[in-house]
Amino acid sequence: MSLQAIGLIMHCRAGFESEVGAEALALCERHKLAGTIHSRSDSALVRFVFNQPSDWTSLLEAVPFTDWVFARERFAWMGSIADLPEQDRAGAITSELVARYAKTPLRFGRVSCEFADTNEAKEVSGFLRRFAPHLEKALTKKGMLAMRADAPTLHLLFETSGACDFGLSMPGDAAPWPMGIAHLRMPLGAPSRSTLKLAEAFFALMSEAERASTLRPGLRAVDLGAAPGGWSLQFAQRGLRVSAVDNGPLAESVLATGLVEHVRADGFTWRPKQRVDWMVCDMVEQPARVAALIADWFVTGRCRRSIFNLKLPMKKRYAEVEKCRALISARLDDEGLSHLMRMRHLYHDREEITVYLTLV
Ligand SMILES: C[S@@+](CC[C@H](N)C(=O)[O-])C[C@H]1O[C@@H](n2cnc3c(N)ncnc32)[C@H](O)[C@@H]1O
């Protein structure tokens, strides 16, 4: 039995709703899905309402999570439940889901109770912490919750405690953290919060197999714009040797790893003598200039993979990202270099996005 989605719901950083709207329209248009974007500025949420309902599994396959840049999380929107009674919200939600799905094979592997990432939604998040265990218990009692790793995740989005939207995603085709909010600990000796960006990128943009084969002792990395050394430390803690290129000073804690060599030079002109496994770049520069630099390292055979930031302009941020993507792809394609590029506006990113690029 085909279960129909009425649209898509996306989480994002507050202020980036129009970028998510633009990418939702572009991605869905590729698959002939037409509809209307609904979002309030600074709400950290975007809804895309389809003109015609769409089978939820083929919908998500058509717009896989890895293709989204500005959405921190996205799920197939199946419906809404209003007027939840204060005395038994869990019961009301469970009854609705049982009525819809008990006669279908659909069972949920996990429940994600969600709220917008805004200051206004803080109150709802407190309520959800207390409410989620009650809901899980009620769904389990009705046999709707299978707690299986391969079953769909049920997303319940609350803007108030009295109503919710609900939807579905598949494990492995979703953000690695609920709502895409990465809770990461600062590593010991980290000199900057920027270190968390690279730590998040390793998880959000790479698979477990990719991490295991490319983040291991004995490999070499170059870090352009390295000071004070938060990114270099991420590599050193995994046993890689790092050339940290920056005219600014590196923190003692980073040099003390014994794996980081400080190179005082201009990151745009310096090149390694031998090919390296990784090049990362966190220099604050025009995005097109960084994109050209990255492409140059790949086409001249200096690295096999890279993670880098593209600082976003104030306006036309989505267009700028697409321009940089096209610039890099065109240069690598011209040289016959088969590659894979994943881009994301990470939880730890502000006015920038992070890109993972690798030869395949
Ligand atoms: C955002 S900070 C990098 C933070 C670093 N990733 C960390 O985790 O600690 C940007 C750095 O880029 C450096 N930078 C900017 N332009 C540069 C250039 N042309 N060559 C080398 N470094 C540059 C700056 O000196 C600054 O230290």
* Residues labelled catalytic: 311
Q: pTM for the complete prediction? A: 0.95
156 pairs with which residues across the strands?
113, 166
Best of 184, 222, 282 to mutate for ligand 1, by most ligand atoms within 8 A of CB?
Answer: 282
Task: Please compute the mean of the pLDDT values over residues 82-94 and round it to a whole number.
Answer: 96
Report the atom number in ligand 1 closest to the C-alpha of 232: 8
**Start-to-end CA span in the chain (Å):** 38
**In the chain, domain spans:** 4-180, 195-359
Q: What is the pLDDT of residue 1?
A: 57
Tens of pLDDT, residues 308-356: 999 998 889 999 999 999 999 999 999 999 999 999 999 999 999 999 9
CATH number of the structural domain 195-359: 3.40.50.150
Please state, rounded to an integer, the average pLDDT across all residues of the chain: 96
pLDDT of amino acid 188: 92
Distance 301 CA to ligand 1 centre (A): 23
Q: Is the CB of 268 under 6 A from ligand 1?
A: yes
Q: How far is C-alpha 106 from the chain's CA centre?
A: 26
Q: What is the pLDDT of residues 112-155, one digit of tens each?
A: 999 999 998 888 999 999 999 999 999 999 999 987 889 999 99
Between the CA atoms of 24, 21, 285 and 188, what dihedral angle is there, to the nearest 10 degrees? Answer: -80
Does 106 sit in the ligand 1 pocket, CB within 6 Å? Answer: no
pLDDT above 80: residue 156: yes
CA 354, CA 198: separation in Å to the nearest integer?
9
pLDDT of residue 57: 95
Residue 21 CB–ligand 1 contact under 6 Å: no
Is the CB of residue 281 below 6 angstroms from any atom belonging to ligand 1? no
The CATH number that domain 4-180 falls under is 3.30.2300.20
Q: State pLDDT tens for residues 15-65.
A: 999 999 999 999 999 889 999 999 999 999 999 999 999 999 999 999 999
pLDDT band at residue 286 using 50, 70 and 90 as cut-offs:
very high
Look at residue 189 and tell me whether its pLDDT is greater than 60.
yes
pLDDT of residue 149: 87
Q: Does 9 have pLDDT greater than 80?
A: yes
Burial of 255 (0-12, 13-18, 19+ CB in 10 A): middle
Extended beta strands in 213-302, E state: 220-224, 241-245, 260-263, 276-281
Instruction: Round to whole Å and give the CA distance between 342 and 308.
Output: 11
